[in-house]
Every structure is written in C-alpha cells, then in structure tokens.
Amino acid sequence: MFLLIRQNLDSLVAAIIGFVLIQIFTNHGGIGISPDSIHYLSTANSLNEGRGFYQFDNQPLIMFPFGFPGFLAISHWIFQIDLLKNMPIINGCIFAALIFLSGCMVEITNATKWLKWIMLALITSSPTLIEIYFMLWSEALFALEVLIFVWLSGNYFKHNSLKNLIIFASITAIAFDTRFAGVSLVATGVLLILLSHEGKWAIRLKHSLVFGSIGCSLAILNLFRNYSITNTLTGIRQKGVTTLAENINHYGSVVATWLPFSKQLEGYSFYVGLFFIIGVFAIFIYRIYKKIEHNSFEKIAATFTLIYSVFMLVTATLSRYETINSRLLSPFFIASLFTLSFYAISWISIIQKRGSRILVRLFIASFSLLLLFQFVQKDIEVYNEVKQGGIGGYTEDDWKESELISYLKTRPTYFNGVVPIYSNASHAIYLYSKKAVKIVPERVHEQKVASFYKEPEMFLVWFTTEDNKDVLNKAEISAHFNMKEIATFKDGSIFVTNLKR
C-alpha cells in the first residue's frame, strides 16, 4: 500500500484537491438535495429505524434500487453521524477515491507524467463529476463502482482465475443494485468474457454464466421483492415521449461539453453524439478484429462506454424519465477519457519521426489545456451561483427560510393521520419536519390520479416556489374539489378540500 501511494503522490494530491473542492461548493448550504435525494435519505433513515426499505411517504421504495440507501444507512450505522450534515465529507471522500484510483490506473499504463497530470486535472475539475458529488445522488457511488469494475475486470482478464471472476462479478452485483443502469456492466462483462481470445469456448461460456448470475443476483432479489409487494418490478413506468433522434441530440449536447469549443458545437449536438458512438463502436470492432486482449483498461472502458450509451439511448426512447443530461451520462465520463487518452498514447508510440511526435504531443497538450480552461470557467460560474444561496434544490436558502414549512413544523396536529395531507413539495416537508406527506400525483399516472380524486377530504399544502409541471396543478385540483384556504404565506398556502357533489 505504501508503495502504491509513493508511486502515486500526484494522484493523492489531486484527490485531496477534489475533496476540498466539494467542501468549497457545499460550504454555504450543505449538500444539494433533489426529490431523488429525499427517496435515498428517507429510506436510509427507515433502515436505521428498523422499518426496512420504506421512503418518506411510508411507501415501499420501488423506483430506485436498494444499493445507495443501503450504503447511506451503513455509513450512519458505522460512524453514527448525521447523514445530511456530513454528506459533503462522505461525497468528498468518494470523489477523492475516484480521482486517486483513476491516477493509479493511468500510472499502470506507463503513460508519460505530463499526460497523467492532464488526466488528473481534467477529472478533478470536471463540472460533470463535481455536479454529482455536490448533490446527494446515487451516481456519486456508481461512478466509483464503474471505475472499480474496470480495474477488477482488467485483473480478471490477466489471470482468468475463478477467484478473480467472483470478485469481478461481486462489484458488478453491487453496482447493478446501486443503479438499475448497472445492467450495462453485466452486459459489458458477459460480452468481454465471451469475446475473449484466451481459453476454450466451454470455459468462457461457464465463466460468463457464473459472472452473469452473480452480477444480477442482488438486483434480482431487489426486483423480486418489488414485484411481491406491488406487482411491478420498478413501479409504473410511462412510455417514452422522445424519439431516438432527439435522445441522440440530448446525448450529443452532453458529450459536446466534454470537448473544447462546446458553445460552438451546440448546434451540432446530434452529429457529435452520433460521431462519438460510431467512433467508440469502431474502436471496439477494431480490437476484436485484431484479437487484442481485454486486459487493458482502454478496451474495457471503451466497451462499457458503448454498452452504457446504447442502454441510455434505448431506455430513454422506450421509457419516459429524466431527459438525458450530464448527470445520467456521468458514469462513463472517466471511461471515455481513458479511451481517448490511452489511444493518444498508442498513436504517439507508433510515430517514428521525433519532430512529428513532438507536434502530436503539442496538439494533445493544447487540446487538453483548452478543455481544462473550459472546465475551470464552468466551475467558477457554478460556484458564483451557489456561494450566495446554496446549491439548487431543497437546501437552498429559499427552502430553509420557508414560512410555510416553519408553520407546519409548529403545527403537529396536521399530521395526526385523521385527514390525509397532500403536497406538491412533500419531499421538502419531509426534509425539514421528518413528517410523511403524500405526493400530489403526476397527471400521467392515471390510476394514482383517479385514486387522488376519490379522497373525500384532505389538506393540500401548495408551494408556489415548487416548479414541477408534471404534477396536477391547482386548477385541475379545484375542478374536482371545493378548496378553502386556511393559511397563506409568502411561499404558498394550505387548503382544506372536500369533493364537489
């Protein structure tokens, strides 16, 4: 271990800088909290209270897998800390581990120091990565698990032992149950094992079956539990509303931000996305054709980037969820950086003329420095936005200073369970009061809307500061209910309602 640190002092320095950056971004208001964060945090609290995988509204956790809430619960149990207060430290440590492991992997490839330092600088300053680490999101843990997956898979393909296979499959199982998108890791591992050029076909088939079984084990148990409770695997999912072409465009707009001159590329997002996927696919096919083995990180990283990209594009087209954005694509940022940089090393090595080699190095260095400058500019821009009022979400000053939430915290009689309470910001109410409030349903969930419209009486806590256009609005609700305003505040109102006859 000492030797590993000694060889990677530069990686350690970068890791410390990454940790500090997360503390700086979260200094004003703490970790950023979104509705998804409340699902994770409340489930972790439920686990620590011995109630199992139940979320803030006392409903079973279905939409998200168990891995990240479980990680949060274990962190609380081991360190006995306030999760919300200490998440900047936890996320900072995960980010530091991600940076340090990245540097160690680059060191193993025998890359020149200048290229390693550029890689470390780009990873540490990446706005895409910084965003997921100053928020309470499962991508923070998943991104590290992806990197460990690449490391362990490289180790397995060097030795092909059953022990290494089981270790390799185990991290895949954990990652799959951290995010359901982790199925792309299972697909990557199975594909690489089957396409390996070493070992007999029967052994490769056996290893792929062992890997797939272990890799899917935790997620299958998770999904079986979900189905036994709700007759659905991951809740009610809506059909996609964006076309494949639109999703490639969204995908390309994110990839463009990972390239220099991103503003100039904005109008060409579709072509950037298409070119990137075709380029990664070409690298994958080339290595298979040349029978180049899988024990190099760039091959594994390129394969994962390809599989994950296809998975995101297909699922975003077939199913309706958050538009493809930087957060959703963050897990393969480092993988794509590895792919590009390691091939840059290969290109330099095959150039015979010293002058030409110097020119290529200058081009790569200039390209990287332009990108680094762009990253730092974006980081400064984001910091200037959050340093005054906090990170966007429920830990912003506007939510902390909410008059409506302060009123509810001093009125426990609202939560006596006799009359149900609904809100368009139930996540925020839970965060600041730890009280369970039902969610005003999204209009696309017809069964939930129908059940909501049958409530004979309820309290409706309506925040004017919550901008969720997917849920039923006040006009739609008032068409079915008589609504009497019983308390009014700067940021919203409380209504008592009853069905119209």
141, 68 Cβ separation under 8 angstroms: yes
Provide the residue count of the chain: 501
What is d(CA 94, CA 405) in angstroms, rounded to the nearest whole number?
32
109, 342 Cβ separation under 8 angstroms: yes
Q: pLDDT digit string (tens) for 167-205? A: 999 999 999 999 999 999 999 999 999 988 777 888 889
Encoding tokens for residue 208? Answer: 């792929």
Q: What is the DSSP letter of 55?
A: -
Close Cβ partners of 487 (under 8 Å, ≥ 6 residues apart) = 407, 493, 494
Percent of the chain at pLDDT exceeding 90? 54
472 sits in the region (left: phi over 0; alpha: psi -120 to 50; else beta) called beta
Closest CA to 234 of 443, 64, 55: 64
The pLDDT of 133-156, averaged and rounded, is 94
Neighbours of 265 (CB within 10 A): 17
Helix, strand, coil percentages in the chain from 3-state DSSP, rounded to 5: 65, 5, 25
CA dihedral 283, 173, 166, 96 (to 10 degrees): 70
Residue type, 115: L
Give the phi and the psi of residue 470 in degrees, each rounded to 5: -80, -30
Q: What is the DSSP letter of 61?
A: P
The pLDDT of 162-167, averaged and rounded, is 92
Q: pLDDT digit string (tens) for 388-408? A: 888 988 999 899 999 999 999
Quote the pLDDT of residue 73: 94
pTM of the predicted structure, to 2 decimals: 0.91
Encoding tokens for residue 481? Answer: 């209910």
Quote the pLDDT of residue 327: 93
**How confident is the prediction for the chain on average, in pLDDT?**
88
pLDDT of residue 294 exceeding 60, the answer is: no
Q: pLDDT digit string (tens) for 407-436? A: 998 888 788 778 889 999 999 999 998 888
147, 102 Cβ separation under 8 angstroms: yes
Would you tell me the crossing angle of helices 9-25 and 113-125 to the nearest 10 degrees? 20
Please compute, for residue 472, the number of CA atoms within 13 A of its CA located in the half-sphere on the CB side.
Answer: 22
pLDDT of residue 346 exceeding 80, the answer is: no
Percent of the chain at pLDDT exceeding 70? 94
Which three-class secondary structure state does DSSP give residue 239? Answer: strand
What is d(CA 408, CA 436) in angstroms, rounded to the nearest whole number?
12
Residue 280 banded pLDDT, cuts 50, 70, 90: confident
Close Cβ partners of 215 (under 8 Å, ≥ 6 residues apart) = 169, 172, 173, 176, 185, 186, 189, 190
Close Cβ partners of 21 (under 8 Å, ≥ 6 residues apart) = 95, 124, 130, 379
The pLDDT of 359-373, averaged and rounded, is 83
Encoding tokens for residue 271? Answer: 């072509």
Max Cα distance, the chain (Å): 87
Encoding tokens for residue 355? Answer: 């002058």
Encoding tokens for residue 435? Answer: 């009280």
Quote the pLDDT of residue 157: 86
Q: pLDDT digit string (tens) for 236-253? A: 777 777 899 999 999 999
Q: pLDDT digit string (tens) for 68-82? A: 999 999 999 988 888
Quote the pLDDT of residue 99: 97
Most confident of 175-179, 201-205, 227-231, 488-492: 175-179
What is d(CA 147, CA 167) in angstroms, rounded to the nearest whole number?
14
Higher pLDDT, 455 or 235: 455
Cα dist. 385→28, 60, 301, 323, 390 in Å?
11, 36, 34, 23, 8
